[in-house]
Amino acid sequence: MKAAVKVRAEPGGTEVMDVPMPTAGPNDALIKMDVVSICGTDMHIYNWDAWAQRKIKIPFIYGHEFCGTVVEVGSNVDYLSEGDCVSGECHVFCGHCHQCAMGNEHICENMVAFGVNTPGIFCEYQALPAQNLWKNDRKIPAEYLSLQDPLGNAVHTVFSAGNIAGKHVAVLGCGPIGLMAITIAKAAGAASVTAVGHTNEYRLGLAKKLGADRVLKKGDDIVKESAAMTDGVGFDAVYEITGNPHAVTDGLKMVRAGGTLALLGIFNDPVTINLTDDVVFKCVDIKGIYGRKVWDTWRITNGLLAAGTLDLDTIITHRFKFGDILKGFEAMASGNSGKVVLTF
């Protein structure tokens, strides 16, 4: 079968090539991919940055966002059938550690991620742990279903602040997950959504198209403009989806006293915070967010997809056949893209 394989320890270094078919173990299902999509994590591997050099053992099939069809079911699995349309939670949880026992499978103490620690889904078929598969509703387009992993990140982040209907929120970062947070917040009835991007006009344009009530960028007086959006009160919730330390500093100024700053971005270095003025005196709640709740977040994500109010057509900016996945990586690398999806 065909697979996109990281074959060389260098930027790019990926080839679409023939590899052996995977075999499903007794607790697995074998899946034929229908749509896969490219995540920021995949770009780390493609770009071969420091993180990827530490984590990835080549040759390696990467990718973890997909919508596929079950073609074989392991002998211990009685809750999936051939023909089921599925997507997958990339964080493979042990099911028995303290965190799993408490319903926090997304922070399992023995976590393994397919597409990072084990082979991923940039290929025609893959065998994955059946427990990590989510049965899809075929009424929803397959390319949307392939996005449930990053959509889940955004859903997890946005609703970490509770119900946001009627609340003023800000999204820091206009990459794919930031854009998803914008459309989710609009669909969930936010009083207003302020988006803060960097300098990429393409992505700022997508934020506007998604209905962000105000789009700010580097060079704007972000804190002052934000106050104006909220009658000087500050945002009920600010979502940090950049990994830029300045976004944390800004975010703490933008959020109202008693509000929530949710952190999904990954920071290369420690961040210095004025805890006294910006957290303690303001009673701010800073929430670290990782992955998605299994399966709580998936269900909310599905409900939003079922409602049909997320504008994913604006976010999916590029579509290629799987054989052209290298073009997809290039589109992502250019910065002038939302999500890139690949069909078989």
Q: CA-to-CA distance for 125 and 63, rounded, in angstroms?
A: 12
The 282-311 site mask, x for binding a second copy (CB under 8 A), equals xxxxxxxxx----xx--xxxxxx-xx-x--
Return the range that interacts with a second copy (CB under 8 A); candidates 3-11, 59-67, 112-120, 253-261. Answer: 253-261
* Residue 17 touching a second copy (CB under 8 A): no
Asked whether position 184 contacts a second copy by CB under 8 A, the answer is yes
223 contributes a contact to a second copy by CB under 8 A: no
Nearest CB to a second copy, comparing residues 17 and 275: 275
Q: Which stretch binds a second copy (CB under 8 A): 29-37, 93-101, 172-180, 198-206?
A: 93-101
Catalytic residue among 14, 44, 106, 260: 44
CA distance 320 to 114: 23
Residue 9 binds a second copy (CB under 8 A): no
Q: What is the C-alpha separation between 205 and 326, in angstroms, rounded?
A: 25
Which among 64, 72, 74, 40 has a CA at the least distance from the CA of 123? 64
The bridge status of strand 168-172 relative to strand 192-196 is parallel
Identify which range of 6-14, 30-38, 95-103, 333-341 contacts a second copy by CB under 8 A: 95-103
272 binds a second copy (CB under 8 A): yes
How many residues interact with a second copy (rule CB under 8 A)? Answer: 72
Output the CA–CA distances (angstroms, integers) from residue 285 to 60, 134, 239, in the order listed. Answer: 40, 32, 12
Candidate ranges 4-12, 31-39, 182-190, 216-224; the one touching a second copy (CB under 8 A) = 182-190
Instruction: Tell me whether residue 44 is one of the annotated catalytic residues.
Output: yes
What is the DSSP code string of 214-265?
Answer: EEE-TTS-HHHHHHHHTTTS-EEEEEE-S--HHHHHHHHHHEEEEEEEEE-S
What's the closest the beta carbon of residue 159 comes to a second copy, in angstroms?
A: 6
Burial 313-339 (b: 16+ CB within 10 A, else e): ebbbbbbbebeebeebbebbeeeebbb
Stretch that binds a second copy, among 17-25, 216-224, 281-289, 311-319 (CB under 8 A): 281-289
- Pick from 275, 323, 324, 334 the residue near a second copy by CB under 8 A: 275
Query: Within 13 Å and on the Cβ side, how many CA atoms surround 118?
Result: 12
50 lines the binding site for a second copy (CB under 8 A): no
How near is the Cβ of 341 to a second copy at its closest, in Å? 22
Question: In Å, what is the CA distance from 266 to each residue of 180, 262, 288?
Answer: 17, 12, 10
Instruction: Select 61 or 92, whichever has its Cβ closest to a second copy.
Output: 92
Cis before 295 (ω within 30): yes
- Among 39, 180, 190, 216, which residue interacts with a second copy (rule: CB under 8 A)? 190
Is 321 near a second copy (CB under 8 A)? no
Q: How many Å separate Cα 180 from the centre of its chain?
A: 9
What residues pair up with 260 in beta bridges, in sequence order? 237, 285
Instruction: Tell whether residue 167 is a contact of a second copy (CB under 8 A).
Output: yes
Min dist CB 131 to a second copy, Å, is: 8
d(CA 260, CA 237): 5
Is position 69 annotated as part of the catalytic site?
no
Beta carbon nearer to a second copy, 210 or 342: 210
Decide if residue 202 touches a second copy (CB under 8 A): no
Q: Which of 14, 41, 230, 242 is catalytic?
A: 41
Q: What gap in Å lies between CA 220 and CA 189, rounded to an integer? A: 26
Binding residue (CB under 8 A) for a second copy from 52, 147, 155, 196? 155
**Cα 331 from Cα 338, distance rounded (Å):** 9
Q: Is 228 in the site for a second copy (CB under 8 A)?
A: no
How far apart are the C-alpha atoms of 166 and 151, rounded to whole Å? 22
Active site residues: 41, 44
